[in-house]
């Protein structure tokens, strides 16, 4: 679904949801209640695909209070 939305519909993974302030990258964090190893690999593939398509070299990380805490960089 993610690949389809980006490649065919022009969706940007950096688009921010006005309700919760999240973008598609927030959903790449696997939930604790499922098979961790399998989901980490799957979400990692989606994350890499989105980074490649966006041409991004990093993503600012903010807390729920809006404080900038760190930046995840991809080499």
Q: Identify the pLDDT of residue 46.
A: 76
Distances (CA, A) of 18 to 14, 22, 53: 12, 8, 22
Task: Tell me how many domains the chain contains.
Answer: 1
Residue 69 has pLDDT above 60, yes or no: no
Q: Tens of pLDDT along 23-68?
A: 887 777 655 555 566 666 667 777 777 777 776 666 655 555 666 5
Residues ≥6 apart with Cβ < 8 Å to 52: none
Domain that residue 56 falls in: 2-73
């Amino acid at each position: 679904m993610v690949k389809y939305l980006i490649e065919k519909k022009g969706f940007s993974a950096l688009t921010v949801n006005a309700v919760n302030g999240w973008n598609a990258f927030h959903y790449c964090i696997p939930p604790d209640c499922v098979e961790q190893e399998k989901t980490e690999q799957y979400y990692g593939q989606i994350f890499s695909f989105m980074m490649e398509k966006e041409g991004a070299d990093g993503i600012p990380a903010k807390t729920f209070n809006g404080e900038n805490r760190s930046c995840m960089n991809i080499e």
